[in-house]
Amino acid sequence: MRTGQCMCGAVKYRAETENKVSVCYCKMCQRWASGVFMGAMATDFEVTEGEEHLGVVKSSDWAERGFCKACGSNLFYRVPGQYMAVAFGSLDDTTGLSPRIQFYVDKRPEGFELAAKTKEMTEAECIAFFAPEEAGDGGPA
Amino acid sequence: MKTGRCLCGAVRFEADAVPDTFIICHCEMCRRWQGSAVLGVVVPDEGLRWSGTERVAERQTTSWAKRAWCRDCGTGVYLKSTLDEGKDGEATEIPLGIFDDASGFRPSDEIWIDHKPDSYAFVDMGQALHTRAECIETMPYFTTYGSLEQERER
C-alpha cells in the first residue's frame, strides 16, 4: 500500500500500486503533465483527506483525470471500471517503481528521452489495441 | 510566434521570441505538481499574451514564485517568479507540453538533480546538471527555497 498527496497537501490518498510505471506521450498527457505523463498502475484507490479539493475532468470518451483544485497537481488517470494510474510524482515513496511501457512513443517531443529501455507502442498501435473504433489524440496512461 | 493551450482549451497563449531551450526541475514541488518533473520554457513576458485568464487559478507556492493552472482541467499553465514583478526582463515559465508544437526544443539545464527519484532518468542531451545546493548558491531566485512542509505552513 502506498500513499500520495498533491503539492500543497490538501488531497491525500492511498492505493495499492504495481511496480510498473506506464509512460504516455499522447498530446493530452503532454499538455496535462508538462510533456509526459508517468503513472503507477493502481487499485483500491481511496482519498483519505481533502475529497472536497479533488477535481475530476473527463478528458476523452473513455478517460478521466484527477487533480487538486487547490494547487493544480496531477493525481491520477483512470478509465472508470477498468484501470487507474496514480501520478508517479504524487507518490510519497517511489522505491521499487520503474518504467515498463511507453505509449505514443512516436509523439514524444524530441527534446527529452527516458534512459530506460521499455516496451513501446506507437500512436497507431495504441489506438488499434485500446480503441479500434476511435481516432483522436487521447491515450491510456 | 508559438501558441499553446491547456488540456480543455479554456486557457491559451501566444508568444513571440520563445527560446529553443527548456529547464527540467526535479524538486519535490515540481514533481508533485506535474506528475514527474517540470519541463519549463522560460518565455519573456514582452510578447506573451494569455486568453481565458478568468479560468486560471494562481497560488503563491514559495516565497519567491507562484504557480498557475486551469480551474476546469487542472493543467499547469505557468510558474512565475514574484520577485521580478514590474521589473524589466520579466519572464514566465511555461510547461513544454502545453505548446501546440513541442518540437524543436532542447534541454539546457536539469536542476535539483540530487532530488530526482531513482526510478527514471533523462538521456543526456547536453543539459547542464545542478544539485539543489548548486542552484541555491548560484541562482538568486532559489535562495529562499522551502520544503513541502514549509509550503503547507503558509
What is the reported pLDDT for A62? Answer: 84
CA distance A126 to B31: 26
Distance in angstroms (rounded) separating the CA atoms of residues B138 and B130: 10
Report whether pLDDT(B8) > 90: yes
Q: Please give the residue range of the domain that contains residue B33.
A: 2-153
Assess if residue A66 is contained within a domain.
Answer: yes
Q: What is the CATH number of the domain that holds B102?
A: 2.170.150.70
A140 lies in some domain: no
How far apart, in Å, are the Cα atoms of A12 and each of A82, B74, B122? Answer: 22, 16, 28
Whether B95 contacts B76, CB under 8 Å? yes
Q: Which residue from B142, B150, B1, B12 is spatially nearest to B70, judged by alpha carbons?
A: B12
**pLDDT value for A141:** 47
Average pLDDT, chain B: 90
Number of domains in chain A: 1
Location of C-alpha cell 500500500: A1
A53 inside domain: yes
Give residue B64's pLDDT band: very low, low, confident or very high (50, 70, 90). confident
pLDDT in single tens digits along all 141 residues of chain A: 999 999 999 999 999 999 999 999 999 999 999 999 999 999 999 999 999 999 999 998 889 999 999 999 999 999 998 899 999 999 999 999 999 999 999 999 999 999 999 999 999 999 898 877 655 555 554
User: What's the pLDDT at B137?
Assistant: 81
Give domain status of residue A84, yes or no: yes
Write out pLDDT tens, residues A8-27.
999 999 999 999 999 999 99
Name the minimum distance, in Å, from the CA of B140 to any CA of chain A.
23
Cell of A120: 513501446
pLDDT in tens, B89-148: 789 999 999 999 999 999 999 999 999 999 999 999 999 999 988 888 887 666 555 555
What CATH number is attached to the domain comprising A67? Answer: 2.170.150.70
Does B149 score more than 50 pLDDT?
no
Phi-psi region of B124 (alpha: psi -120 to 50; beta: other; left: phi over 0): beta
| B36:A98 CB<8 A | no
Give yes or no for residue B154 having a pLDDT over 50: no
What is the interface pTM, i.e. ipTM, of the complex? 0.91
CB spacing of A57 vs B76 below 8 angstroms: no
> A57 to chain B: which residues are within 8 Å by CB?
7-8, 72-74
- Amino acid B138: pLDDT: 80
Find the domain containing A91 and state its range: 2-130
Number of domains in chain B: 1
Output B58 or A62, whichever has higher pLDDT: B58
**Could you say which residues from 14 to 43 on chain A have a Cβ atom under 8 Å away from some Cβ of chain B?**
21, 28-39
Name the grid cell of A125: 498501435
Q: Which residue has the cell 514549509?
A: B150
